[in-house]
Structure 1
Amino acid sequence: MDDVQPDEEPLSGGNVSIGVVRVGDTVRRPAGPWTPAVHALLTHLHEVGFPGAPRPLGIDDRGREVLTFVPGAVVWPDHFALLDPVHRLARVARLIRDFHDAVQGFVPPADACWRVFIPADGADIIAHHDLAPWNLVVNGDQEWVFIDWDGAGPGTRLWDVAYALHGFVPLSAHPTWQRDDAAMRLRIFADAYGLDEAQRQCLAPLLSQRTRAMHDFLRQQAIDGVQPWARLWHEGHGDAWRSDAEYIEQYEQLWFGALMS
């Protein structure tokens, strides 16, 4: 980044981190039309006592959004072991449930503009849409915080949960990440979140639908030449999401059984 100032530390990691820097105890990120709505959401979460999100601090003199810096390690890919033993996976599920409960009372601004890339299966809450290990910062047994709220917008609890299960179980076809205990971890997550029977029945087919939606989104962005998604498609991310969706579909009855047992 040629325009990084001497007091700014570029933050890498993730797939969309261009222009993200640390300045002292703050993070500066490029702002957009969605930023006021996202800041209203984060302010609400802070005011109702939800600890799992950064606090918005406004806009700096360069037009960038300012957020509190969250110390710790991003879980994916190098620190996934932080989610073992399984009580830590359960903690992730409870954190997501706490977020969904906290956001239930949020009233978006009348002129809210959201940056949702993939339309959800409904709109009963303002969802995060990217609750995944690459957006979870873990600071020991203390502060666990989800970052990257730019894609927040109308969605549903199960849409968020289905996506989270893909990443946190994980439900992956890749031999490095595929786990023999995936069904058990899925059940632990569902129990810790507190899914009721009706939600569990709906969730099993949603797991593959949500995963395949990511493949289809990246494919369309590549066709349209939209960056950085087109780059990710050509780097093979689309193939990975498709393989994961096929794996989830292949074992759908296993997931359903784990959820309902």
Structure 2
Amino acid sequence: MKVVVIGGTGLIGSKVVAKLQEHGHEAVPASPNSGVNTLTGEGLDEALQGAQVVVDVSNSPSFADDDVMEFFRTSTSNVLKAEKAAGVGHHVALSVVGTDRLQGSGYFRAKQVQEDLIKDGGIPYSIVHATQFFEFAKGLADQATDGDTVTLLPVKIQPVFSDDVATAVGRTAVGEPLNAITEVAGPDVFELPELIRKELAAKQDTRKVVADPNGTYWGAKIQDDTLLPGPDAHIGEVHFDEWLAQQK
């Protein structure tokens, strides 16, 4: 099976490509580095020739509200158009658990537009919702830092290892289109400040973590369970503490 992976040289994309290739599939990474630009459409038609499945795990290079909206709207529209021309039978996209509940954030508004375009695009699809990756815990801390203090909402979070996300995406790609959303999450639930304390302590980072119930998550007001998956989510194998120990 030929599977083209948009964003196939990034954190998740490179792992998806490797896993699909290990199982005997023709997995082709497509990114600006390989001459494929989803914003301009350059190289898309050529890359998708003969593909049965397209996996889109790309992300906006800028998280500014207008930029991220332009990226997901334009990129997704161009990919769907090229898929129709190539006769692709399955579009798989990676998105985020709780996207529809995080609409106070410009980033998640853009992700919702991406999902809506896919649902209305006329191509059989599967959308994989993942919780926050282990690898992005430090980024969460950095964006919430003022001086030496990290201020975070005391909400629940169920982070997942990127490898487990790639497994879920690859499994979905070679299956029948769901025309629905499937979820993947890690095996452990933390309170967000607790998670970040673990991350910083492991790196001997002395920043102080405090909980603020009046705060936001990437600009969005959320509830205690907004970031948690539903009961039918696929659960990854790797625990955060195990992963953290391997980073030392």
TM-score by length of 2: 0.29
Q: Which has the higher contact order (CA 8 A, sep 6+)?
A: 2
TM-score by length of 1: 0.28
Structure number with higher helix proportion: 1
